[in-house]
Chain A
Amino acid sequence: MRYLISLIPVLPLAGFLILAFVGKRLNKVSAGVIACGTVFSAFILSLIVFMNANGNPTFENGMTITLFDWISVGSFRATFSFLIDPLSLVFLLVITGVGFLIHLYSVGYMKEDEGYNRYFSYLNLFIFFMTLLVLGNNFLLMFVGWEGVGFCSYLLIGFWFKNSAYNDAAVKAFVMNRIGDLGFLLGIILIFITFGSIEYASVFAQAGQMQPGGFVIIAITLLLFLGAIGKSAQIPLYTWLPDAMAGPTPVSALIHAATMVTAGIYMIARTNILYTMAPLTLQIIAGIGIATALLGATIGLVQNDIKKVLAYSTVSQLGLMFLALGVGAYNAAVFHVVTHAFFKALLFLGAGSVIHALHGEQDIRRMGGLRKLMPVTWLAFLIASIAISGIPPFAGFFSKDEILMHVYASNPMLWVLAVLCSVLTAFYVFRLFFLTFSGEYRGDPATIGHLHKTPMSMSGPLIVLAVLSAVGGLIGIPELFSGGNLLGQFLSPVFGQSALHLHLPALSHEVEYVLIGISVVVALLAVLFAMYLYAYRKEVSVTESSALRPVHNFVYHKYYVDELYQTLITKPLQWLGDKTYRILELKVVDGVVEWIGRFVVMCGKSLRLIQNGESGIYLLAMVVAIIVLIVTANF
């Protein structure tokens, strides 16, 4: 079993190495087989482990496999060790499972691309780092995966490296992640200083004994949360994610929707006990979460790029997950991560099929009426849209519902906002759906004639994911519907310690029914409204209506946050660098040095004038010196 677990990350790594070193000599088929095969094997292994793990007490408490010592200095010890417990297993399954599907999808999607092998090597590397992230048994190893996936994301966003804008987006993503990473890193250091260890087991055991709300624990959690903000695209570090859509669409599906961006949720879920001990941080997380959720949703309302809409949707959904974390519903957050992985990946892949079919067209204003032309995609997209809108009995309903319940229990005002958010979500998703598939085709007629066929490798994953999106919610059917909440029970050992401290207020069933009713009804209303507005449109104007134009513009331009950052941070930094160099460095710091040099030479130049060649002056100077000498010595 131990070897099997170790193999899970090793397999994608092996795939990466093979592709990296002999990639040039491999044809596309074998490259695709290697890439998909390794990830699939990893998925199978994860399944095997999962089978063994279910109900096995050693797994519930976490099973550690140590490979080798990585960094050890004095009492500090960071090992290359894997921890298998319910949480990591859940994530592992999602990563390898969805990962495999997306690999498969990519085989078709990237077929024509010259960087095919390179693409798969990056993708494999990503899976490696992602599994490392969730498998690590200490913070530093998590950080390894954390930075590693960030780096892979950098590579894949800038995959088409000839395009400067894409490269800019890649750098932006990496740097923004790095800002968060610095917080994470400092958090790890503070953890080590506080607890004397960075291994989960030892840290959590000690953290449980601590006084809740202590300054240090708040500092630690805030620093870690900073990392999560960067990785999971929360306010204020979310702007990279929409730009990251520059990468190939499967990459957006895998990295920027299903897996990497949820690493922040994983991290907080993993360290839940620390956060439980820091109520203040939890409140901050909830605040940022709901704010991000609303922000993403509103921007998503008016975007016209199919991938941008989905990107903001992701931002918004991630905000929702953080909201869940913020109210202590770790379980619900993880649940939503899983379902979100299904339906968001599906949405992206569906969008990918559309883009693929339309030769790279991404503007929904120039789509429409694709239902007949791409029925599979249409269906998959529809299922995903329903799922994300939270309409029962699809996957999104259960997870979102669980979140809303907890939010209400914690703070009804937040609940109102969250429901608003889900209404907006339903609206923009269906706006997207209707504009894309319903009505009539509004784009270039030439394209429609040469529609790319969606190959099996692409539609296969779509179907699988559609099924998952439809029924995925079953893993977490709440008590209310006499489900066992399988996921919740499975994860309970991980959150057990927190549960002791958190004391989540329980809602009566009546209240729950009412709440569910309200949220479902408003979501349905939103869908209908979207249908009314967009389903049969022939033309889509740039603006909605004149009265709303300024607001629309404002939202359409993403609240000008990018521009704000540009003016407040990027430009000043550039300016600062330039001025520091030109003025401070060259004129002041170096100037002083040069000035000293010149001063010395000037001294030499002027002093030598005393030596004017006339003996009379020399003698006079000597006599004066003698006089001075005698006078100072005697008087």
Chain B
Amino acid sequence: MLKINCPICGNRDETEFSCGGEAHIARPIADNKLTDTAFSEYLFMRDNPKGVFLERWCHTSGCRRWFNLARDTISHEIIEIYPMGQTPKTAKGKKAYQANWRRKSKAEAASKPAKRTVK
């Protein structure tokens, strides 16, 4: 059972948290036209590395805040915890972030407002 250092509440048992899966999946804006294939990469395809994985967690039973976490899926070691909206700072975390195929995906490109903006 993991011990997770919530940035707000400190060390707590894993049972107090919920895991939101892969982090840094940018949501394509519906207005930006994407093929069904490219959209399915956003919707269903998931990074599932054996090694460092960037994922997001929420301290559900505590402060209810979301945060990002870099975790080794073999040893379960938590390498880094960093705020929502930021990218990892550790070397391992950075590498995992940059190496991810998603950085080059069409869906990610479509997450930024294109011609029209939403609002």
Q: Do A and B come from one complex?
A: no
Binding site for B on A (CB under 8 A): none
